[in-house]
Structure formats: structure tokens, C-alpha cells
């Protein structure tokens, strides 16, 4: 299943104008710039994002704002991805 998710992400990326990918993995929402695999930088079944924000919604209180944690880059195994979309505008 992870190979299908990985392939779908990069197939859709070629057809969309956005390069900002939003991923849900468990209780985490992960947002970042999808690394272009055009020059063979990517590993099979590993989605690499740059300028990443990770937010955990499990422990968030109703009035608490969650700015998340920021990372320069992050590798995510495709098998851990529950859902994804490309951020528009």
C-alpha cells in the first residue's frame, strides 16, 4: 500500500500548481515543500519535505493554539501516511 501512496503523491504533484504537501499521519499534521524527484534525490517509499511544520492534534486543548514544531527537512515513510493533499493558494 505504501508504494501506491508514494506513487500517487508524486503523480499528483506533476499535475498540481502547488508544491506544498499536507500529510496526516496518526495524530500529526505535517506540512512542507515536497522535494522534487527529478534528479533522483528521492528514495523509494520515502516522502521528503523541506521547511516542515509538524502539529500534534491529540494533546491540543480547545483554547490552545498550536504553532507546531519546525524542521528544515523531514523524511516520512509512505506506509505511515493516512491521508494527504496539496495546499492551494
Share of the chain above pLDDT 90, in %: 62
pTM to 2 decimal places = 0.83
pLDDT at 89 over 80: no
For residue range 14-52, what is the model confidence (pLDDT) as tens digits?
999 999 999 999 999 999 999 877 666 667 789 999 999
Average pLDDT over residues 66-87: 93
- CA atoms of 11 and 68, how far apart (whole Å): 28
pLDDT of residue 63: 46
- CA atoms of 78 and 4, how far apart (whole Å): 9
pLDDT of residue 67: 79
CB 85 within 8 A of CB 22: yes
Amino acid at each position: 500500500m505504501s508504494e501506491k501512496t508514494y506513487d500517487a503523491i508524486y503523480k499528483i504533484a506533476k499535475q498540481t500548481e502547488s508544491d506544498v504537501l499536507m500529510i496526516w499521519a496518526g495524530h500529526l499534521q505535517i506540512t512542507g515543500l515536497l522535494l522534487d524527484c527529478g534528479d533522483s534525490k528521492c528514495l523509494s517509499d520515502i516522502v521528503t519535505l523541506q521547511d516542515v511544520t509538524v502539529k500534534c492534534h491529540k494533546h491540543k486543548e480547545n483554547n490552545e493554539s498550536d504553532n507546531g514544531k519546525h524542521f528544515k527537512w523531514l523524511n516520512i515513510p509512505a506506509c505511515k501516511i493516512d491521508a494527504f493533499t496539496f495546499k492551494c493558494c
